[in-house]
Chain A
């Protein structure tokens, strides 16, 4: 089906909207979705020259020994497919693979805004799940978490 905004390109994203008192969907092509701020950012990257995404997770799809975040169980492939990071800890677990994506969105910038109150302890990146341990694929052969640190 064609993009309902430009009517030219094939639709790749469906975004939810309200129409006539009900939930509805609008079909958009990648270009229009990005212009309207609705794109799954990770999809958009796949089109860029150099194909950052493909390099980053080539061959990762469905591997039983894929690295998984200890906190939420997400693999990097899960993150790319959903377009969303699994938890705060993922930013540490997958830092080396997320960093180029973050750079692509924000251009190498670092945070210059508000920080949590000085008297509050900051959440440590190594914080564990409070509620329960999630079932997750165990890494084969004791492979360690990949990626660098956040600092």
Chain B
């Protein structure tokens, strides 16, 4: 998997990644909410035929995964890795996904829409990620006929997605803004500007790990490029605010102490529950940005954060574990990974 080779770029201290998705549906079949098994099979057949076509530029790019064939861990791992959301994996029948080798391109089939065409990139690569998703959509639309209306745009089961059907998002690490309590007011302000800022994981006032998703909400009345430009502009402002909030914190010896203790815990704990791990690793990531933590790369931290997620970890280990075995395994891998990065003489 080449995911961790994606460069984070100059904004990697705050921006973890970018994602762009397009919702597309066929005009001659019911939307997923009213499809029967035969309809579902037909949609899968059409989409697979479009990507498997030897003459197409898409040939060989994707492998197909049927949700019906997955174990519970495999399905949940898809959601932990942000390829699909909880709603998609909750119903397995007649659903599948097409995934590129490096998992940067993905097509979800028969979720809320017939197709959800997705691209992912590292850091603040919103424009490039949009272009990749757009190219994929264009290639698919050479052989697939998507429901479209001149006034309403691409037709979708959720009227809120009408128009471009595009959801563009930035994954942001905002520990300083979260700590300052500024986020609720910022969220409201952004909501009025047609954006949404919310926890990347389960909804929570203070999500573990302080990872948030900034998304556009408007799909009708503006072009895709305008929406991307808006999100880019707002994203830059949020990044600047987070950096400013971090500068205020990083001078404090108490904050430095908290970060050092977090790193110490991660390097020595024998049991690590996921919630605690996410909180500690978030502090360490902040520490890298603030300059207190050395010889540790953002990419190593982000990779660890994802790979230590419960279902993903269970899959990697290859056997069922009790909760405690999982905490022990997580702690072991974290000690090993961070130990390899230890400075000479210790810190």
Contacts and interface: CB of A to CB of B under 8 A. Distances in A.
Nearest to A39: B160
A136 to B, nearest CB: 11
* Residue of B27, B134, B145 ringed by the most chain A CB atoms within 10 A: B27
Interface string B156-183: 1111101110100000000000000000
Given A18-B86, A85-B31, A116-B141, A102 B159 contact: yes
Nearest to A6: B205
A5 interface: yes
B27 A102 contact: no
Interface stretch (B32-40, B93-101, B231-239, B294-302): B32-40
Interface in B129-173: 134, 137-138, 141-142, 145-153, 155-160, 162-164, 166
B220 A21 contact: no
Given A102-B152, A113-B223, A130 B163 contact: no
* Residue of A24, A32, A83, A113 ringed by the most chain B CB atoms within 10 A: A113
B199 to A, nearest CB: 8
A69 to B, nearest CB: 9
Contacts, number: 201
A150 B162 CA distance: 13
Contacts of B152: 91, 102, 110-111, 150
Interface of A: 4-5, 15-24, 26, 28, 32, 35-38, 41, 71-74, 82-89, 91, 98, 101-102, 105-107, 109-117, 120-125, 127-132, 134, 150-151
Contacts of B42: 130-131
A120 B218 CA distance: 26
Interface bin, chain B: 35 or more
* Residue of A22, A82, A109, A115 ringed by the most chain B CB atoms within 10 A: A109
Interface string B234-268: 00000000000000000000000000000000000
B224 A91 contact: no
Nearest to A132: B38
Given A21-B76, A23-B89, A41-B158, A129 B28 contact: yes
Contact of B221 (A19, A83, A88, A109): A109
B39 A131 contact: yes
B222 interface: yes
B4 interface: no
A151 B151 contact: yes
A115 B31 CA distance: 20
3 closest pairs, A vs B, by CB? A109-B221, A21-B310, A123-B27
B202 A19 contact: yes
B345 interface: no
Interface of B: 25-31, 33-34, 38-39, 42, 72-73, 76, 79-80, 85-87, 89-90, 112, 134, 137-138, 141-142, 145-153, 155-160, 162-164, 166, 187-188, 191, 196, 198, 201-205, 215, 217-224, 226, 274, 309-311, 314
Contacts of B224: 113-114
B329 to A, nearest CB: 13
Contacts of B205: 5
Contacts of A107: 221
A116 B221 contact: no
Given A23-B90, A114-B224, A72 B203 contact: no
Nearest to A34: B191
A108 to B, nearest CB: 8
A112 B153 CA distance: 8
* Residue of B79, B85, B145, B149 ringed by the most chain A CB atoms within 10 A: B149
Nearest to B312: A21
Contacts of A115: 148, 150
Nearest to B77: A21
